Each structure stands twice: as C-alpha cells, then as structure tokens.
Homo-oligomer: A and B are copies of this chain.
Amino acid sequence: MRVYNFAAGPATLPVEVLEQARAELTDWDGSGMSVMEVSHRGKPFIGLAEQAEADLRELLAVPANYRVLFLQGGASAQFSAIPLNLAAADGSVDYVNTGAWSKKAIGEARRLVARVNVIADEAASKYTTVPAREALRPTAGAAYLHYTPNETIGGVEFPYVPDSGSVPLVADMSSTILSRPLDVARFGLIYAGAQKNIGPAGLVVVIVREDLIGHARAGTPALYDYKAMADEGSMLNTPPTFAWYLAGLTFKWLKAQGGLKVIGARNEAKAQLLYQAIDASGFYANPVAVNCRSWMNVPFTLADARLDPVFLAEARAAGLTNLEGHRSVGGMRASIYNAMPLAGVQALVQFMQEFQGRHG
C-alpha cells in the first residue's frame, strides 16, 4: 500500500526504482551479495558508477569539459566547498538572496570569504519573486556568482538563467536538477543534493567546469578538494555506494521515461494543474509571483489557518502525506518532483476540492 508522498526531501522515489532495488537487495546482478556489500574498487561497482555518470551526462548533455563528481555531505557540504575551491580567503564573491537556501549558502560563505556581496535580495517581496534579469550585475573581481534556481521552502524558481558574463555562475540545483532540459554550458558549477530528484540522502552531485578545478586553497579538507576527488573518480575515499547505485537506477528510469523534454512537459503539466486549482479555489492561496512559481515545490495556505491540522489529518487518511509546510513558514507545501506521477497531483487536487466543499 503506497501513498502519494509530497515530502520536500528526502522525497518520494520512482516506485520502479525501489522495486528493482528490493528485488536485488540481497543478491545484486547474480553476485550473491548486495550492491551495498561489494567493493567500490571492484569491476562490477566501477562499471555501475561509470554507467551512472554516462547516463547523467546524456540526460543533461553535459559538455566534455565538465567533470561530474559524486560526493558526500549533501548540498550543505558544497556551501563550504565552493568558496574553499573557487575563492581566496581574502577574495570577493557574489550571492543572490531569494530565500532560505540562498541564506544558508551566504551564511557559510561569510565564514570563509572576506567579501560576500549580496548583489540582490528579495526581502522586500518576502521572497515571493526573483530579481529582474537586468538587475543581476556581477561585481568586478568576484570569483563567482552564486544563486539558487529553485527555493525549496519558498517555492520560488528563476524563469531564466542569469547572465554573469565572465564570472562563473554557480547554482544550487538540489530541488530542480533533472526536472527539465538545462544548458549546462551556461554554468561554471552546478550542485544538487540527491534526495529530491536523484536518489536517497547522503549524496551530492557536482558538475564543474574543468578550469575551475585545481585551485583549492591551502587547508581545504581533502574530501572537499575538487581536484583530489576528480583525480580519483570520486573515490579518494569509499563513496556512498548504495546511494550512487540508486542514483544510477533513477537516471535509467529518466531515460526510459523519454528524457528531460518529456519529464519537463510532464512536470509543467503537474504544476499547472495544481496552481490552477489553487488560484481558482478562492480558498487556497499561493503567494509567489506567477512568472516564478516553482514546478517542484508548491506552497499554499488555507483561507482559515485553523483548518491546517484538519487538512493534514484528512489528507493523510486519503493517502496523501507530508503536505506540511516547512517548519519555518507553516501552511502547506506539495513537493512534486519527477517521481510524483500526474495521478498523485490529480488525487491531491481532487482531495483539495472535496475538502473545500466540506469545510470552505
């Protein structure tokens, strides 16, 4: 009995991926061992790891001059690794603040770089929109420009890729990677914690242009040094093998769905269905500017917040789980990543309409 799970991350995975993992959990590929139990240095796992990277490269059409790293520590580790690898301690870096995850990245950068320039901050809108394209002007001499294409908590997504000129563009794509086609060549570095659109928690994927590798400052922990990791195929130490395996299954699943164009169209349709239901209701509301509403994370409120616990309890009883908004903001949030089928969003919309009928 599976439910529709709208958690923001760790999030629902494709049921086909879980079923394959289950089928071979104690005997992977006829080895008589779980994939968790085999050496990361052995040919079978190396083959798996290389195939996962090849499939990800194919899905995102990653140019040849980019390295793909499979690391530990999640996106939060990259909040530190990016300044340690790309900027000097007395250097200057640019950040855009569009909400909670931007703020975390900025906070860690401030501990590690002398000048953190917040070149745009959407506080005035209460983080319900993104800066105008022309407002994003990199600071002269900045080592990079960091932004958060999709804010998981606020549900705000950039409808464009900023133009940072010769300053490398760095993006925390944790909650939007693989949701649609992407022009990787526009970026210096992309990173994404796995636990939304890639696989389980405990893995972060970094896609980084080669010329940005090899400049880690002295005192950077070895596992945070992109060059040390790239030189060893992300196996300077033992990688999180099971997470890598599940990521590989997810990439295969995405290819079997038809790739990112098909997935993107499906995600847009799912999001539009939900936003239209919210906007048409007169009972539910989403505060985000229409042109930058997230396809992945849809926060919404009820006309009467006292009904929130009733909504959540009845939703749970209807097989729709984890609809609580983030603890920092309250309300509701439906995360509808790649693995959430259209049927799940349809079931949510139907439930919302019935709930309104009973309580509205």
Contacts and interface: CB of A to CB of B under 8 A. Distances in A.
Contacts of A9: 39, 238
Interface in A180-221: 193, 195, 200-203, 218-219, 221
A296 to B, nearest CB: 16
Contacts of A241: 10, 200-202
A201 B202 CA distance: 10
Contacts of A21: 25
Interface of A: 1-3, 5, 7-13, 15, 18-19, 21-22, 25-27, 31-34, 36-42, 72-77, 79-81, 84, 89, 108, 111-112, 193, 195, 200-203, 218-219, 221-224, 236-243, 246, 319, 321-322, 327
Instruction: Report how many copies the assembly holds.
Output: 2
B221 A81 contact: yes
Q: Which of A84, A89, A237 has the most CB of B within 10 A?
A: A237
A77 B22 CA distance: 30
Contact of A10 (B2, B39, B327): B39
A337 to B, nearest CB: 11
A319 B13 CA distance: 34
Question: Interface on chain A toward B: helix, strand, loop, or mixed SS?
Answer: loop
A202 to B, nearest CB: 3
A22 B25 contact: yes
Q: Which of A2, A19, A112, A221 has the most CB of B within 10 A?
A: A221
Contacts of A41: 327
Given A219-B219, A223-B80, A74 B238 contact: yes
Given A219-B112, A321-B33, A327-B41, A201 B18 contact: no
Contacts of A240: 72, 200-202, 240, 243
